[in-house]
Amino acid sequence: MSIEIFHQLGFRSQWNFQSFIDDNVGNGFILAPSHMEKTEVENLDSNLKRNSIFDPQFFIPSVQKRKLATYDFFPDIVANGFQTSEYSDGFSQECAERCIIFQKENGFEKLIIPTRYISGMPSSFIQQQQQLFVLPFVDAIARLGKDRPVLLQIVLNDGMIKDQEFSADLLNWITGIPAIDGVYLIADINPRTKQLRDIDFLYSYLRFIQALSLNDLYILLGYQNTEAALLTLASPSAVSIGSYENLRMFNIRNFEEDDNGAKRGPNARIYVSRLFQWIDTNYIGAITRVFGDTQLFDDNHYKAQMFEPSYHWHFSKPELYKHYFLVFSEQIRSISNYNGIDRYHFLRQLIEQGMAEFASIRDRGVILDQDSDGSHLPAWLTAANLFAQDQGWR
């Protein structure tokens, strides 16, 4: 079964639009009000919106962010100046109604029931989400007419996913909501390394996704980095791709008050599909020298541009990300050509080849730093093997 790819939009979303139009990458977009004012969304080409979903980003309902404030359904706006740190029942009905009207009027492919961010593992988690989001939004959708699929957004931290009882309760709750057709799932696992290497988390997340999938729900995995390739084992319906790191890993700090302070830019990185890793461009010269060519790096027209001697590598250059969109979407497509046990065997082979490539790089004297090395792959392979064992695939 093919897996859809959605561009997770944020800063510099024009790169994603260009990638979609020029390179035919992705099936659609996840629009982000924290980065796009209301009029900008309204004026967007309806063809682009038809293939997109709109994430209302209610993560911190009382937050004051300039762009969010342009939406009349955002909780802080509906509260109308009341000093409230709580998103209460009183506001939730109104927010839900306005938010659904906005999503419908803009012709988005699916309707999203948003969520608030909750840290820790409170026993009231389900009750809060049900009361403040599910019920008012389901009511609003029923009132306004359900004419397209509905996805429930959920942000889960690693504790929630790893704890068997908590995750079983979550699954019972989610799969017991008749009005939804799917889930827009986001994992909050900060602080973390650039690549996920927590075996317990990866294994538990695979099981969680699969349980949803077995219930015939559409599953969109948001804020995905390259681990999306591993998670395809659990048969999600769609995964996201994003440019900057904050679009490839969810971090609630990015949704707090606007911060205009200067930030240090990250190192430029290039994605290498054979390694399932973003390599610091500082290593490109060394790798090219010891291998005698640039074959390790995936070929496409962006590579041709980037490997011109005059090219100035910088994290804010679009080619790095457009190259990634093209390469990674192709990688996901090739994996999704297989199903079940065949997908596992194919992915296992790719991961093992990646590990061998890393070993070869090291053998030739290139010592990659911990953000570029292959230390995540043994963890991925272990999680994949555990999952495969459960399925009777090994």
Partner 1 sequence: MGIADNFTDILSLYPSAAPIKQGGQKAVFLIDHQDLGKCVLKVGIYSRPQTLERIVREVKTLREIDSPYYPKNYEFQVLDGNRFLIFEQYIESIPLSSCLQNYTDIENALFLLKELVLGLWIIWNKQIVHRDLKPDNILIRDDGHPVIIDLGIARLLDEESLTQTIAHRGPATPAYAAPEQLLNRKASIDIRTDQFNLGIITTQLLMGGVHPFDPEVVGDGENIMENIIQGKWVKDVFTNHDLRLLQPLIERLLGKEPYMRFRSPELLMQQIDNCLEKVRR
Residue ranges in contact with partner 1 by CB under 8 A: 126, 168-169, 171-176, 178, 211, 214-217
Q: Which is nearer to partner 1, 125 or 201 (CB)?
A: 125
C-alpha 92: how far from chain center? 26
Q: How far, in Å, CA of 171 to CA of 159, rounded?
A: 14
Of the candidates 347, 324, 358, the residue with the CA atom closest to the CA atom of residue 393: 347
Q: Which is nearer to partner 1, 169 or 330 (CB)?
A: 169
Q: Which is nearer to partner 1, 207 or 323 (CB)?
A: 207
User: Which tokens go with 257?
Assistant: 């008050």
**Helices 13-22/318-335 angle, 10° precision:** 50
Give bridge partners of residue 240 from the DSSP assignment: 6
Of the candidates 331, 301, 333, 294, the residue with the CA atom closest to the CA atom of residue 319: 301
- State the minimum distance, in angstroms, from the CB of residue 236 to partner 1: 16
- State the minimum distance, in angstroms, from the CB of residue 172 to partner 1: 5
- State the minimum distance, in angstroms, from the CB of residue 215 to partner 1: 4
Q: Which is nearer to partner 1, 127 or 190 (CB)?
A: 127
Cα dihedral 245, 250, 252, 253, rounded to 10, equals -10
Of the candidates 281, 276, 333, 271, the residue with the CA atom closest to the CA atom of residue 311: 281
Q: Which is nearer to partner 1, 210 or 225 (CB)?
A: 210
Establish how many alpha carbons lie within 13 A of residue 280's alpha carbon, considering only the half-sphere containing its beta carbon. 15
Q: How far, in Å, CA of 174 to CA of 218, rounded?
A: 12
- State the minimum distance, in angstroms, from the CB of residue 345 to partner 1: 23
Q: Which is nearer to partner 1, 175 or 391 (CB)?
A: 175
Q: Which is nearer to partner 1, 45 or 216 (CB)?
A: 216
Helices within the chain (DSSP H only): 13-22, 38-42, 46-50, 75-78, 89-105, 125-129, 135-144, 158-162, 164-175, 199-214, 228-231, 284-291, 301-306, 318-335, 340-363, 376-391
Cα dihedral 217, 222, 228, 234, rounded to 10, equals -20
Q: Which is nearer to partner 1, 4 or 169 (CB)?
A: 169
- State the minimum distance, in angstroms, from the CB of residue 168 to partner 1: 5
